[in-house]
Structure 1
Amino acid sequence: MGSKYFQVGQGVWGMRLYFVNIYMIANRRGNGKGWVLVDTGVKGSANKIIDMAESLFGLGTKPTAIVLTHGHSDHSGSLKELLRYWDVPVYVHPLEVPYLTGRSSYPPADATAGGGLMTLISWMWRTSPINVSRNLREIDPYDGIPELPEWKVIHTPGHTPGHISLFFPLNTTLIAGDAFTTTRTESAVYTLSYMKKLSGPPKYLTTDWYAAARSVRKLASLQPRIVATGHGPVMRGRELLTALSFLANRFEELAVPKDGRYVGHSAVADENGVRYIPPSNGDPKLTAGVAFAASVAAFLLVRRFW
């Protein structure tokens, strides 16, 4: 599968790495020489990210900082490898720190929520923490990110406790992470073929649906004209505004799964990590059997696309 980069908007580029996106933002200040990496994709993506950076900004370039929308393994998978090349600060929301300092695992994925092949194999995603303490910097909620002075940092919890989105008011560009997506992440067909469908956050790894609803409505109120998300293609203009307004107004109906471990009972977390995880509501034997069958199907599907 190719990994050619694409332009999101003025000074913003993205690249699809398998089923997840990363982004690079050129800082208009400082003679236009600085740039910031947003998210790092799945493990093993470092060389592709470095190649993209050098194609855009020149040989030997490195970002002034790395920003994580959140620390899930498909967004932080190549972080440790990249830090061996680029010794730069890594900015995260304070509530995301425990998962990037080795203190706490994320709550487990819910393979019963939302249906679809990607949901059924979600138990395979790593939820254990990594430790990048030496490079980690907490985002100041008032000052934002010094290396991105023109971008607003918006706390958008729900998918994870410290999830953030980035907003550029000048041309209303939004990098939404997984606060919502522009494909159906539960579906392997949608996810691997990059089919466009504005949707809520991934159902199998969203652990606080009340917060997720508030976050989507907060982002919809910004009326962005360009949106780049963690999964799916860029959306723009009237198509985006109509779909995002529809999702915000009917979030509980459109985005929240009818059943699931975190439906009605959210996981609870604080600055030290996860404090409470609701009990699983699935039969472990049945879930394991379905997951095994789904894994075989996923292997065959992945061989076709990758």
Structure 2
Amino acid sequence: MEFVQISEHVYKLTYETVVGIPVKINTWYVVDGEDVYIIDTGMEDHAQMQLNAAKSLGVPKSILLTHGHLDHINGAKYLQDELNIPIYAHEVEIPFINGEKPYPNKSEKETTGVEYRVEALSDNIIKTLPLDLYLTPGHAPGHVIYHHKDDNVLLAGDLFISRSKTLHPPIKNFTVDMSENINSGKVIDEIKPSIISSAHGEDVKYNDELYTIYKFIYE
């Protein structure tokens, strides 16, 4: 387990777990005054670590999900029960989180543990956040990324899998529409973040050729 500060207001917790295969999972904590926003919740067996990390930085305010896949939402029930804070996701993602229908590339519905406990990220909620939000469908229909404008750090969820200097697509078997996902990635050239932090991998420093190379290789 590693807990590091990646910018003035953004912290990252990294650990390895097994989801079929060993996987590195990153979750984030955005500090805004005394408030702490938890971005994704990883797996339930590491939720206590997340709770400790969030509390060490201030008062947990809410949980913001990039999407509803197991390795991003499995700890949400524990954290919400312990902290009594709201959980938010994009409205497009809510039916999949609730188990009302399966993801388009899956035959079975998700069991998230927080069915009908996740609220849609309405405009009124978004206005209160210290983050900008971008809808980036493809990996999941309601996948979003969060940009901390002041620190210029992009929390990219599963939009990419990242290495220290390169970007790669998410795992195909867990991705609804890979072409759409790759096209969604062009948002980094609009945002031009200093740092791209993905849920699986290492932080990457942005440059103007990063997405061009990624698209050329994987499109």
- Give TM-score, length-normalised by structure 1: 0.63
- Confirm whether residue 164 of structure 1 aligns to residue 162 of structure 2: no
Pick aligned residue for 2:101 from 76, 99, 104 = 104
Structure 2 CA distance for partners of 1:42 and 1:9, relative to 1, 3 Å = same
Alpha-carbon offset, residue 133 of structure 1: 4.4
What pairs with 1:194-213 in structure 2 (closer than 5 Å)?
A: 197-213=166-182
Structure 1 match to 2:53: 52
Considering fraction of residues, name the structure with more strand: 2
Structure 2 match to 1:91: 88
Structure 2 match to 1:13: 11
What pairs with 1:145-294 in structure 2 (closer than 5 Å)?
A: 145-148=126-129, 150-183=130-163, 197-238=166-207, 241-248=208-215, 250=216, 254-255=217-218
Comparing 220-229 with 7-16, which one deviates more in the overlay? 220-229
Q: Secondary structure at the match of 2:94?
A: helix
Query: Mind listing any 5+ residue stretches in structure 2 that lack a counterpart?
Result: 17-23
Considering fraction of residues, name the structure with more helix: 1
Structure 1 stretches of 4+ with a deviation exceeding 4 A read none
Which structure has more relative contact order (CA 8 Å, sep 6+)? It is: 1
Question: Equivalents in 1 of 2:133, 2:97: separation in Å?
Answer: 19
Question: Equivalents in 2 of 1:220, 1:92: separation in Å?
Answer: 24
Alpha-carbon offset, residue 232 of structure 1: 0.6
Do 2:70 and 2:112's aligned partners in 1 also have CA atoms closer than 8 Å?
no
Q: Which amino acid aligns with 1:103?
A: E
What value does the CA root-mean-square deviation take over the aligned residues?
A: 2.2
Structure 2 match to 1:66: 63
Question: Equivalents in 2 of 1:46, 1:156: separation in Å?
Answer: 26
Q: Secondary structure at the match of 2:168?
A: coil
Do 1:144 and 1:153's aligned partners in 2 also have CA atoms closer than 8 Å?
no
How many aligned positions are there? 211
Greater Rg over alpha carbons, structure: 1
Query: Mind listing any 5+ residue stretches in structure 1 that lack a counterpart?
Result: 110-125, 184-194, 257-306
- Give TM-score, length-normalised by structure 2: 0.86
